Copies of this chain bind each other. A is one copy, B any other.
């Protein structure tokens, strides 16, 4: 029997997310990927085949382990509380780092249809999540009855991407929370 490989794919993915967040896709060179992960070159290419495929897998891991659990808050359908929980979790995850998916959309989105499609699915899921929460909140009477649910959801979805960008430059978490409050205040019943 042969020896078993020493590396833990999940741990590697975790570091890959950091590396791609720090340096972008093209800015992250194989040298650093090999050095900072517990990989050896051969293992890397046996496991992933190419740097490009490695990005896709990392993105998939990031979606599953970072984005999906946050979006999950919206899918609990607890109205406005879910939306607030979502933003709290989102700010914590993004602050000082930004969002890997959004970074890949801005870097590769024009050329790479795979990234485009992942990005669009993510936006759709957000949009549907917000709609569900807002409808629930309207039934509960916690948001104003007169708001246009789809339009507000579109606005919230857009806002989330703004957070992803601002998180890279923001000096403090505070301003992100203040912006969220300004966003939610007007739709909440007094």
Contacts and interface: CB of A to CB of B under 8 A. Distances in A.
B169 A123 contact: yes
Interface stretch (A1-9, A38-46, A78-86, A152-160): A152-160
Interface residues of A, number: 50
Interface string A157-190: 1111111111011000001101111110011000
B107 A24 contact: yes
Nearest to A160: B162
A113 to B, nearest CB: 11
B169 A120 contact: yes
Contacts of A162: 157-163, 165
A157 B88 CA distance: 19
A24 B108 contact: yes
Nearest to A123: B169
Interface in A132-167: 147-148, 150-152, 154-155, 157-166
A27 B151 contact: no
Interface stretch (A48-56, A60-68, A69-77, A98-106): A98-106
Residue among A105, A119, A161 with most chain B CB within 10 A: A161
A98 B106 contact: yes
Contacts of A109: 98, 168-169
Contacts of A120: 169
A111 interface: yes
A21 interface: yes
- Which 8 A-B pairs have CB atoms at the shortest separation, nearest pair first? A162-B162, A186-B186, A26-B26, A151-B182, A161-B165, A158-B162, A161-B162, A155-B182
Interface of A: 21-27, 98, 102-103, 105-111, 116, 119-120, 123, 147-148, 150-152, 154-155, 157-166, 168-169, 175-176, 178-183, 186-187
